[in-house]
Amino acid sequence: MLDQQDVAFFRENGYYLNRSPLFAPEKLDRLEGIFDEHLAEKGAKLSDELDTPHFRDPRLLDFLLSDDVLDLVEPLVGPDIALWTSHFISKDPKVGRATPWHEDSAYWNGRLSEYDRIVTVWLALGPSNQENGCMRVIPGTHHNGFSDYVPTDKTVQTFHAEIPGVDESKAVYFELERGQCSLHDGRIIHGAKPNTSDIRRTGYTMRYFPASVKVLDVPDNAGWKIWLARGRDSAGNTYQPDPR
């Protein structure tokens, strides 16, 4: 678990790099095998758009609801933890698109009652470095409100809009080895350059929020699935059955 110094660093900067392996080797191999299946079955969908795979594949709940992950995020989220979403990421060699500067929270604006203490675990399923387009953040920007956005070109970017005028000289690059992970606040400004290397960049994001936060009854949440991962709900949310 993170100690008080780690938590203080995260609160101030909006991120933390966890160098210890998140899962045991055999469990990580099993997760990578599931990822390979999803990648092979994606059809015409771009490989960097493998969103909410756990909605379709309950095997992933064994990872998302595991103590390995929940023990890591509890000091940041609190003892009552809900699973918000997950996402497989695959930036293919040479052609993996850039991810423009953005805040994750901007894509949930109007869907939740609060946006602080939403934490994303970014697990490296292979090496993630500057050459293959690792994630980068602007420390401290999670203290800001929602940013303004301008349109961008989705043929070369993964999203339709980006935050303009970001001072890239302040960027911290999340270089990770397979099995290591990063944690970041859902409000921090972050992005990634394209993959210009010969090595695919693969990861699995697991995102959690306090179970005191209400998932609002709005059209954008229609059909959305959440799980109570640990503790108790105090917001009156409706959860999927716990498979454990």
Tell me if 80 is assigned to some domain: yes
- Residues 163 and 151: their CA atoms lie apart, in Å, by 9
Q: Specify whether the CB–CB gap between 207 and 75 falls below 8 A.
A: no
| Residue range 209-241, pLDDT digits in tens | 999 999 999 999 999 999 999 999 999 999 999
Angle at CA 173, nearest 5°, toward 129 and 131? 30
**Contact status, residue 158 vs residue 100, Cβ threshold 8 Å:** yes
Q: Flag residues of the chain having pLDDT under 70.
A: 44-49
What pLDDT is attached to residue 177?
Answer: 98
Residue 47 falls within a domain, yes or no? yes
Question: For the segment 54-87, what is each residue's pLDDT rounded down to a tens digit?
Answer: 999 999 999 999 999 999 999 999 999 999 999 9
Structural domain span for residue 119: 4-229
How many contiguous H segments (helices) and E segments (strands) does the chain have? 4, 13
> Residue 46 and residue 97: Cα distance in Å, rounded?
10
Give the predicted TM-score (pTM) of the model: 0.94
How many domains does the chain contain in total? Answer: 1
What DSSP assignment string belongs to 40-88? HT-TTS-TT-EE-GGGT-GGGHHHHTSHHHHHHHHHHH-SSEEEEEEEE
Q: What is the CATH number of the domain that holds 138?
A: 2.60.120.620
User: Is there a domain that residue 236 lies in?
Assistant: no
Do the domain assignments include residue 60? yes
Residue 152's pLDDT is: 86
Which residue, 70, 45, 87, is CA-closest to 203?
87
What pLDDT was estimated at residue 92?
Answer: 85
pLDDT at residue number 47: 58
Instruction: Flag whether 95 is in a domain.
Output: yes
Using an 8 Å Cβ cutoff, are 204 and 145 in contact? no
pLDDT, residue 86, reads: 97
> How many other CB atoms are found less than 10 A from the CB of residue 147?
18
In a domain, 234, yes or no: no
Q: What's the pLDDT score for residue 173?
A: 98
